Amino acid sequence: MTSAGLDPLIHVPARLRIVATLAALPGDDALSFTRLQEMIGLTPGNLITHLRKLEEAGYVGTEKSGNGASSRTSVALTRRGREALEEYAAALRGLLGEV
Amino acid sequence: MNERFDTFRPPPPEPDPWQTVVATDPGDDEALDPRDAAALLEQTTRQAERRFELQPPYLLFTAAVTTLVAYGAVWLSVRNQNPYTGPSGTALAVLYGVLALWIAFVATFMRRTLGGRSSRRQQQLRGIVFGTIWVSVYVLEGALYHVDHDHAIAYGVYVAVAPLIIVGAAAAGYQAGRGNRTQALLAALVVAYGAFAAFAGPSAVWGVVGVGLCTILLASAAATLWQRRAHA
């Protein structure tokens, strides 16, 4: 089965899990980088690479709080990211419906 | 001696990985089969929703047991009172002791569930709104007693049902606004039950509320478990 019509940015196991996890957060909640890493199970280096790709596309936003050693980075799905996931899920349903 | 105390210094906070870790190439940009992608999306969403869930069945179960023990203790102490004078000191100690234990349990659970999550403005606003409502419930109790010194109303019917009706109504509105249909209906059911329970009178109301609220919470826990199994 081809994956034509599926957003290539989301259609990768690790990024699909990142986007789906952030989409499960209620409202405009954000998740700390360390909690997201614990939930997804990627190394910090790999997670940063995936997050940067999603951030460049405007699918996720990051926010730094605190200073120095107590600083924390939170990650949240943007409206554009949520819409992209909805379109991706609809495209998946369409593809699977054709089988 | 000083050396010994030095060993008890709290460890310095861990640096934020986002600031310190070097990005690496994961090398897993291979495409997924759409069937596998659909399964992965569904599984990840379900797992994440469970990790973020604020009312898991076991929490509802502990709330049911707490309600039964707390209200039951007060009912045992007031059931034969005529005229009604209010709960004994022992019953109040059990009521507040059980409630304190449950609040500590919930606080631990919330720290774990909400750990790493942030929406500070919303959380602060929610805390202020619900805190004000809870305090107002007991201020009104004081006002009622101040007006006519009626133990049966201030220390009986009102204090047994007012938290259910007032806080329950606020929770129902809040959950309805967020589109959480099940939680909104559950809160509305608690409000309606509290209103009808008031007819039981100052002594019996404690038993009626304890048993009724316990039943509603157990039914809600069972419904949540049933929903999970249906989606598994």
Letter for the amino acid at B95? L
How many alpha carbons fall within 13 Å on the CB side of residue B25? 3
Angle, in degrees to the nearest 10, between helices B181-197 and B168-177: 160
Per-residue pLDDT of A3-46, as tens digits, reads 677 899 999 999 999 999 999 987 677 888 888 998 898 898 89
Q: Which of A88, A95, A97 has the alpha carbon at shortest distance from A2? A: A95
Q: How far apart are CA A38 and CA B1, in angstroms?
A: 39
pLDDT of residue B142: 93
Residues forming a β-bridge with B117 = A31
Q: Check CB contact under 8 Å for A13 and B119.
A: no
- Please name each of the domains of chain A with its CATH number: 13-98 (1.10.10.10)
Residue B63 CB contacts under 8 Å (≥ 6 apart), including other chains? B102, B217
Confidence of residue B1 (pLDDT cuts 50, 70, 90): very low
Q: Check CB contact under 8 Å for B33 and A37.
A: no
Q: Check CB contact under 8 Å for A73 and B51.
A: no
> Per-residue b/e over A26-46, b at no fewer than 16 CB within 10 Å?
eeebbbbbbbbbebbebebeb
Closest residue in B to A9 (Cα) is B29
- pLDDT reading at B64 higher than 80: yes
Closest residue in B to A25 (Cα) is B52
Complex-level ipTM: 0.91
- pLDDT reading at B2 higher than 60: no
Whether the full predicted model's pTM is greater than 0.90, yes or no, is no
B→A contacts (Cβ < 8 Å), by residue, are 12-19, 21-26, 28-35, 37-38, 40-41, 44-45, 48-49, 51-52, 115-119, 122, 178
What's the rounded mean pLDDT across residues B65-82? 95
**Do B109 and B60 touch, CB atoms closer than 8 A?**
no
**Position of tokens 């310095």?**
B12
Strand A60-65 and strand A72-77: the pairing is: antiparallel
Angle, in degrees to the nearest 10, between helices A13-23 and A44-56: 70
Q: How far apart are CA B217 and CA A41, in angstroms?
A: 35
Our CA-based measurement puts residue B26 at a distance from the nearest CA of chain A, in whole angstroms, of 5
Per-residue pLDDT of B85-108, as tens digits, reads 999 999 999 999 999 999 899 888
